Structure 1
Amino acid sequence: MQKIVILTGAGISAESGLATFRDAGGLWAQHRIEDVATPDAFARDPERVHAFYNARRAQADEVQPNAAHQALARLQAEHSGEVVIVTQNVDALHEAAGARDVIHMHGELARALCAACGERWPVTGDISPAEACPACAARACRPDVVWFGEIPYRMDEILNHLQGAEIFAAIGTSGEVYPAAGFAQEAAGHGAHCVEINLEASAVSRDFDEARQGRASEMVPAWVAEVLGG
């Protein structure tokens, strides 16, 4: 009845066609972080920030989960113990593959947040600063994503899961963004066996008991098969 906690990053969705933060030519390469992904940027130019996230939302709506997402959904469905998926990604590809109760520590593209009252609600298509909050009617709508300088969501819950994990796996993460970059140390400190699956060694590979390098769509299904015993 092993408890498995999995952290996923942009690398797991890259093979579905979503560019990572560091890819040349992607949406991120066309904008400075300071202009589209900070609270100050939203205060200065909410229309520009919404346009950026509307484009990301449209892009995410066009892609499908890949074999890595599907393998993690299989692990959740077939493993005799608890499998907790924590993702840094704001897409819904884990859910599209069949995963349940995914913890989105950086928020979700398909949700809006009222900056006035904190109400959250699902969205499709474009949203704008003029959209009224369904709870308080304030025109203070923003994407429900965690920007640089903000605290990730559900951190207390995530830390509790890490402290109870017997296996911790990080998949498609750079290891350069905290607090997620410290998850392996946290899990290992409570006795977890830590596995990194990535195209190349991350900035925190030394914190893992084993590192597997290759495409997520190949490496993750193979690892899941091992965990499930074939």
Structure 2
Amino acid sequence: MTDSAPYQDFQTALRDARCIVLLAGPGLRSVATDTTYRSRGETWQRLDAEELANPNVFTKDPSLVWQYYHYLRESALKAQPNAAHRVIAKLSSNVDALNRIAPNAKLHFITQNTDSLSARVLPPDAPSDAQPIEIHGNIFRVKCTQCGMTEKNTDNPICPALAGSEKFFNGVQEPVSFIHESDLPRCNQCSGLLRPDVVWFKEEVHYLDSTANLVSDCDLLIVVGTGLLVSPCSMFSEVVRRHGGKIAVFNDQETYADRLAQFRFQGPCQVTLAKALQMEEDV
């Protein structure tokens, strides 16, 4: 299937589908009003940003890791959902909108993103099942390293000691070298050290079993803005094709799933997704 695959063929697959899984990744947010998200290979305070997503680094230097996640939280709060976010939110929360393009299908939305933009764009009266399945966690949730408590936390800043530290990334000041652990975010139940409730290196993704079941039942997998490089998502396209399902890929570059996809739409996701779903007037 070429990059110029006819949109009408994809729209036929939508009408025939019974179980649609939409899987989104970093490419979904790249066109949001936010120029500060790190991409693969970029650095923060002279460190590879990916290396900071590691429980061993957090144990060794929670001050450094919390400064990084404070920076990500600040960036996410300044970002605005884009057209692709809005399209997905409408399909997830509005049965009539979904029935118009996929009259026989149930939609399940899984995201690798941790920025909460997909949840933020949902209408206030959205049903609970419209919430994205955040398999890599959420930077606005925290987890206690001592008692295991988890909760949503949108405090800005999350603790006084981190206030203003996001400026260090942009070189406005010399980086803070150390914030004492007692001044970092603490659990309101046991006073233990909190960590971001996100999936780090070698940690199991959230909702693994339920996500695997959804993919097993899926007859149309829509991949938006992810290269499917990280397990278990790297196996999703294989599973869907194995049981005869179809795959559509929306990305601004080639992906691992392209070789299995019947439909490929290359270009900015906020443009191609709305067009393919015939929802350009909805955004």
TM-score, normalising length: structure 2: 0.73
Contact between 1:35 and 1:49, CA under 8 Å: does it hold in 2? no
Cα separation, 2, equivalents of 1:114 and 1:173: 30
Cα separation, 1, equivalents of 2:25 and 2:212: 17
Gaps of 5+ in 2: 1-16, 100-104, 160-180
Contact between 1:10 and 1:20, CA under 8 Å: does it hold in 2? no
Percent identity of the aligned residues?
A: 28
Q: Provide runs of 4+ in structure 1 moved above 4 Å.
A: 27-30
Structure 1 residue 115: deviation in Å? 1.5
Matched, 1:132 2:156: no
The structure 2 residue matched to 1:111, chosen from 141, 145, 161, is 141
Cα separation, 1, equivalents of 2:270 and 2:89: 13
Match of 1:177 in 2: 230
Q: Tell me the C-alpha RMSD between the 2 structures.
A: 2.1
Structure 1 residue 170: deviation in Å? 0.7
Match of 2:239 in 1: 186
Contact between 1:37 and 1:147, CA under 8 Å: does it hold in 2? yes
Q: Compare relative contact order (CA 8 Å, sep 6+) and give the higher one, 1 or 2.
A: 2
Cα separation, 1, equivalents of 2:24 and 2:98: 18
The structure 1 residue matched to 2:254, chosen from 189, 201, 220, is 201
Gaps of 5+ in 1: none
Secondary structure of the equivalent of 2:21?
A: strand
Contact between 1:22 and 1:28, CA under 8 Å: does it hold in 2? no
Stretch of structure 1 that moved more, 121-130 or 4-13: 121-130
Stretch of structure 1 that moved more, 111-120 or 49-58: 111-120
- Letter of the structure 1 residue corresponding to residue 151 of structure 2: W
Matched, 1:11 2:11: no
Match of 2:114 in 1: 90
Cα separation, 1, equivalents of 2:229 and 2:51: 21
Structure 1 residue 28: deviation in Å? 5.1
Match of 1:122 in 2: 152
- Higher Rg: 2
Contact between 1:72 and 1:224, CA under 8 Å: does it hold in 2? no
- Letter of the structure 2 residue corresponding to residue 41 of structure 1: V
Match of 1:218 in 2: 271
Structure 1 residue 93: deviation in Å? 1.2
Between the two proteins, the alignment pairs up a number of residues equal to 223
After superposition, the C-alpha distances for 1:21-61 in whole angstroms (9 at most, x for unaligned) are 2275xx65842247521010001000110000000000000
Cα separation, 1, equivalents of 2:40 and 2:187: 33
TM-score, normalising length: structure 1: 0.89
Secondary structure of the equivalent of 2:195?
A: strand
- Letter of the structure 2 residue corresponding to residue 79 of structure 1: L
Distance 1:223 1:28, change over 3 A: farther
Structure 1 residue 127: deviation in Å? 3.5
Contact between 2:147 and 2:192, CA under 8 Å: does it hold in 1? no
Matched, 1:79 2:132: no
Cα separation, 2, equivalents of 1:56 and 1:167: 32
Match of 2:77 in 1: 61
Stretch of structure 1 that moved more, 82-91 or 97-106: 97-106
Structure 1 residue 118: deviation in Å? 1.7
Contact between 2:84 and 2:274, CA under 8 Å: does it hold in 1? yes
Distance 1:204 1:20, change over 3 A: farther
